Amino acid sequence: MKQPYIPKILVVDDEQSIRAMLEIYLEREGYAVSCACDGEDALARCGRGFFDVIITDIKMPRMDGITLLQRVREFSPETIFIMITAFGSFETARESMHEDAYDYITKPFYVEDIKNKIEAALLKRADLAKDRQANMLSAEKVQEHFYGMIGESQQMKKVFDLIGRAASARSNVLITGESGTGKELVARAIHTQSNRSDKPLIIINCGGIPETLLESELFGYKKGAFTGAIKEKIGFLEAAHGGTLFLDEIGELPLSLQVKLLRMVQEKTFTPVGGTEEIKVDVRIISATNKNLSSKVAEGTFREDLFYRLNVIIIALPPLRERREDIPLLARHFLDKAAIQTEKNVNEISAFALDCLMQYDFPGNIRELENIIERGVALSTTSIMLPDSLDVAPCSRAAPAMNSPAHGDVSIPEGGILLDPILEKYERAYVEEALKQSRGSIKGAAQLLGITLRSMRYRIQKLALDENLLKKDY
């Protein structure tokens, strides 16, 4: 049985009595409650996990509630804020509403009022999530107009344009690209846009059928051609007459069959296994490979004459790591798809989770991204996908050595330590160095650190860096 989702609430107040009172009351009401003593403590907690609602005092030492709201909004815009203000401080209350707080309550207050405001806020948030999901679906339908392919990058726009031009031609097409980049989708798009769209599109994986069966599957056979051939069977070529034959993994085609395929491409005729009469066909060939066919030609494992017959028009698909700007769009598409399939209320990807995806190199490309999102939805315990739900290996980019103490040298005094300032020290050092190396370019610094532009801007504001480090035109 699917467990009900428990909303997570963060209470932020410099008065310990208020924190304790709200924590006890809200936990009795069934919420998962955490507490922070000021804005900086709260910001650190938000960096480690998502909160549905933050109830915060406005006036606090080190960082006030409005500044906390502004900081959290940069990486978690879906979090709801309810502000606590002193009686009569309507000016600060109005300021908090201007900064997009959901509601405010004045001291002294009844805990029941807080409960009612939380319930109303969560209901409103659920409605907004449905609206965002509907808008997302609408936007994705626009993106998916190109036959199931999603992308706004310049590389994919060029691919879409080339597909359209290839579809209107009659020449054979060779699609190249790593596994998982969507070569079959490209083949389907070309066929669907061509004047052969009302005829069959036959797909055969040259690497997925044993060599002993591939010839008879491709060319068909006559009755009695071999043991077990008790009746005549037409092959994929004849079945594709008038339409398109898509030969996936063409580089795996045995040399013996390359000769027969070359003759069919040249003469538009072939002879079934065990047959004597030639059969004439009108078939357009679209091939795909994740191998370097030029190298296979040089090695003598792929016929040069067939290679030049097949790659009249070549469409090269970029790997996902070379079009990272498409990752958020693809991730949201797969998130919605997986949420529908699993019937789970997961409708957002947190900024930190998206940051992890943006830094990953995806050796399995789009297919791997879909699998990661599907698994993440299945494991997610919140309505927002968090990094701990993602099965993403460390980024292939090497991490620089840090002058940090070895594990055996670490000691914690009896009174404890403050970990966040220590981590901030290293973060500040790397962010400042990246800005220096990029001559103040935020985008360049983000690329050096392997993070998104959004994440870089958040860190600059969080660390309150010297503006002299930044370009004035950013």
- State pLDDT tens for residues 429-441: 888 888 888 888 8
pLDDT over 90 percentage in the chain: 33
The β-bridge relationship of strands 269-270 and 279-280 is antiparallel
Q: What pLDDT, on a 0 to 100 scale, did the predictor assign at position 105?
A: 83
Task: Measure the CA–CA gap between 412 and 97, rounded to whole angstroms.
Answer: 43
Strand 80-86 to strand 103-107: parallel, antiparallel, or no bridges (unpaired)? parallel
Residue 288's closest CA among 180, 161, 150, 156? 180
Are 287 and 174 in contact by the 8 Å Cβ rule? The answer is yes
Query: pLDDT-derived band of residue 99, with 50, 70 and 90 as boundaries?
Result: low
CATH number of 154-317: 3.40.50.300
Task: Compare 410 and 348 and report the one with higher pLDDT.
Answer: 348
pLDDT at 474 over 50: no
Average pLDDT score over residue span 152-173: 91
Task: Say whether pLDDT at 398 is over 50.
Answer: no
Given a cut of 90, is residue 113 above it in pLDDT?
no
Maximum mean pLDDT: which of 248-257, 342-351, 454-463: 248-257
Lowest mean pLDDT of 80-89, 183-192, 324-333, 371-380, name the range. 80-89
In this structure, the number of other CB atoms found within 10 A of the CB of residue 388 comes to 13
**Residue 453 pLDDT exceeds 90:** no
Helices (H), 252-350: 255-267, 293-299, 304-310, 327-342
Contacts of 408 (CB under 8 A, 6+ apart): none
pTM as predicted: 0.57
Average pLDDT, the chain: 82
Decide if pLDDT at 144 tops 70.
Answer: no
| Per-residue exposure over 109-122, b if at least 16 CB sit within 10 Å of its own CB, e if not | eeeeebbebbeebb
Average pLDDT rounded to a whole number, residues 81-100: 61
Tokens of 301: 């494992």
Q: Which residue has the higher pLDDT, 471 or 14?
A: 14
Please tell me the predicted confidence (pLDDT) of residue 273: 85
Question: Do 8-135 and 154-317 come out as alike in CATH topology?
Answer: yes
Placement of tokens 């700007």 in the chain: 325
**Hey, where are the domains in the chain?**
8-135, 154-317, 321-389, 420-469
Residue 142 pLDDT? 40
Report the CATH number of the 8-135 domain. 3.40.50.2300
Phi, psi at 200, each rounded to 5°: -70, 150
CATH T-level fold of 420-469:
Arc Repressor Mutant, subunit A (1.10.10)
pLDDT tops 60 at residue 106: yes
What pLDDT score was predicted for residue 162? 93
Looking at the chain, the whole-number percentage of residues with pLDDT higher than 70 is 85
Residue type, 64: D
Confidence grade of residue 322 (pLDDT, cut at 50, 70, 90): very high
Architecture label for domain 321-389: Orthogonal Bundle (1.10)
Which pLDDT band, with edges at 50, 70 and 90, does 396 fall under? Answer: very low
Can you give the pLDDT at residue 354?
85
The answer to whether the CB of 168 falls within 8 A of the CB of 308 is no
How high is the pLDDT of residue 90?
Answer: 46
Which of 77, 40, 63 is CA-nearest to residue 454?
77
Q: Residue 404 has what pLDDT? A: 52
The contacts of residue 242 (CB under 8 Å, 6+ apart) are 196, 199, 200, 282, 283
Greatest mean pLDDT range, 68-82, 244-258, 334-348:
244-258
Backbone angles phi, psi at 173, to 5 degrees: -125, 140
For tokens 């959004």, what's the residue? 454
CA-only gyration radius of the chain, Å: 30
Region 340-348 average pLDDT:
85
Instruction: Name the nearest CA neighbour of 453 among 139, 112, 75, 119.
Output: 75
pLDDT of residue 133: 55
Rounded Cα distance between 104 and 88, Å, is: 12
**Amino acid identity, residue 382?**
T
Q: Decide which of 161 and 457 is more confident.
A: 161
